[in-house]
């Protein structure tokens, strides 16, 4: 049966849902974005507009592109919109029970062979799918934030995912201008699994007093041509989320390299979650600009 991609359902208007919605709309597809209530819709819409304005100020976007993007996104509070969609993506919190419930709602409404995408960096696609009447149409896609600019998406095959559904997810990734990395289901896939020990090791290096956090970060940033160091990356991602991922990777794999650094736990317990709270390993202003850069950490030409 032929499958054409025009309409995309996104469940959850949080940071990830908005970022995916923006990218999908930017590529000319129509989005229906589901939130839980009218208030949540308003909050999500306001945040999305704010991020579009920020993108305009950074020359990533123009005013007319903003208009076009907003015109392609329809906010809803019910799951019914999924019935007309060619693919659906859930982007709710990394919680097995919540995701499972959403998959059921989507499964009941969507055309039989239209893919349902789980956006997760750590949960098991197979286990989530197994609870479903049509597990073979469930596939994982791990988008990296911000979805509008990162060039990669991990496409995750569950045990029961059909080739057809899997290939549609790969094609969807390509339509979004991303390089799809084909991965089999294992905790953390490629990106999270490889980056977490690096972050953890950076934290241990600080904790052991080898160097100050800012110097550890700068060494890695300049030494390996990263756009930012691992600690700033963790701050910007949210230390609470980083801790959750690490705990999950640790419990799933049992590997000590994923055991969260005590320093990370301490910061999270203290409510210092990184850029969004103004303080993590480093200090940020209300616009999430880092305000404690070292004098050597400055732009230069060559």
Partner 1 sequence: MKILVLNSGSSSVKFQVIDTDLERMKAHQDNTLATGLVEKIGLSDSRLVLKVPDRKAYTDYREILEHRAAIEWVLRILSDPEVGILDEVTDVGAVGHRVVHGGEAFASSVLITPEVIQQIEECSVLAPLHNPPNLRGYYAAHAALPDVPHIAVFDTAYHQTMPPHAFLYGIPFQLYTKHALRRYGFHGTSHRYVAFRGSQILGWERQEHKLITVHLGNGCSTAAIDHGKSIDTSMGFTPLEGLLMGTRTGDMDPAVVPWLMAMEEMTLHQVNTMMNKHSGLYGISGVSSDMRELVEARAGGHQRADVAFRMFCYRVKKYIGSYAAAMGGVDAVFFTGGIGENSPEVREWALSGLEYMGIEIDRQINDGLHGGEGEISTDDSRVKVLVVPTNEELIIARDVVRVLNGIMPTWEPPETVTP
- The conformational region for residue 289 under phi > 0 = left, psi -120 to 50 = alpha, else beta, is beta
CB 44 within 8 A of CB 28: no
251 near partner 1, rule: CB under 8 A: no
Question: Order of strands, edge to edge, in the sheet holding 30-34?
Answer: 73-76, 30-34, 7-11, 87-90, 116-118, 138-143, 152-157, 179-184
Site for partner 1 in 133-152 (CB under 8 A): 149
291 near partner 1, rule: CB under 8 A: no
Task: Find the shortest distance in angstroms from Cβ 301 to partner 1.
Answer: 4
Total residues contacting partner 1 (rule CB under 8 A)? 17
Helices 262-269 and 239-253 meet at what angle, rounded to 10? 140
Task: Find the shortest distance in angstroms from Cβ 147 to partner 1.
Answer: 14
Task: Find the shortest distance in angstroms from Cβ 190 to partner 1.
Answer: 23
302 near partner 1, rule: CB under 8 A: yes
299 near partner 1, rule: CB under 8 A: yes
71 near partner 1, rule: CB under 8 A: yes
Task: Find the shortest distance in angstroms from Cβ 58 to partner 1.
Answer: 6
Determine which residue in the list 58, 209, 225, 286 makes contact with partner 1, applying CB under 8 A.
58
Site for partner 1 in 28-57 (CB under 8 A): 28-30
CB atoms within 10 A of CB 302: 2
By CB neighbour count within 10 A (0-12 exposed, 13-18 middle, 19+ buried), where does 223 fall? exposed
Residue 111 CB partners (closer than 8 Å, separation 6+): 83
59 near partner 1, rule: CB under 8 A: yes
Q: Which residues bind partner 1 (CB under 8 A)?
A: 4, 6, 28-30, 58-62, 71-72, 149, 299-302
């Amino acid at each position: 049966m032929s499958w054409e991609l025009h309409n995309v359902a996104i469940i959850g208007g949080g940071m990830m849902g908005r970022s995916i919605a923006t990218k999908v709309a930017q590529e000319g597809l129509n989005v229906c974005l589901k939130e839980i209530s009218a208030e949540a819709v308003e909050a999500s819409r306001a945040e999305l507009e704010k991020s579009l304005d920020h993108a305009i100020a950074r020359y990533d976007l123009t005013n007319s592109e903003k208009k076009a993007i907003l015109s392609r996104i329809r906010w809803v509070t019910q799951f019914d919109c999924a019935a007309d969609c060619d693919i659906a993506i859930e982007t709710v919190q990394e919680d097995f029970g919540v995701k499972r419930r959403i998959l059921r709602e989507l499964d009941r409404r969507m055309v039989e062979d239209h893919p349902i995408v789980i956006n997760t960096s750590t949960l098991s696609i197979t286990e989530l799918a197994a609870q479903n009447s049509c597990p073979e149409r469930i596939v994982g896609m791990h988008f990296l934030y911000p979805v509008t600019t990162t060039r990669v998406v991990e496409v995750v095959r569950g045990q029961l995912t059909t080739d057809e559904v899997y290939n549609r997810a790969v094609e969807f990734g390509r339509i979004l201008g991303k390089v799809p990395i084909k991965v089999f289901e294992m905790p953390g896939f490629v990106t999270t699994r490889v980056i977490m020990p690096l972050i953890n090791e950076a934290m241990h290096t600080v904790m052991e007093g080898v160097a100050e956090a800012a110097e550890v970060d700068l060494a890695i940033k300049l030494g390996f041509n990263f756009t930012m160091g691992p600690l700033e990356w963790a701050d910007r991602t949210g230390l609470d989320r980083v801790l959750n991922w690490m705990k999950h990777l640790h419990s799933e794999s049992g590997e000590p390299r994923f055991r969260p650094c005590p320093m990370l736990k301490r910061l999270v317990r203290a409510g210092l979650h990184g850029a969004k709270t103004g303080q993590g390993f480093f200090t940020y202003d209300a616009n999430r600009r880092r305000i404690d850069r070292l004098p050597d950490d400055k732009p230069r030409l060559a």
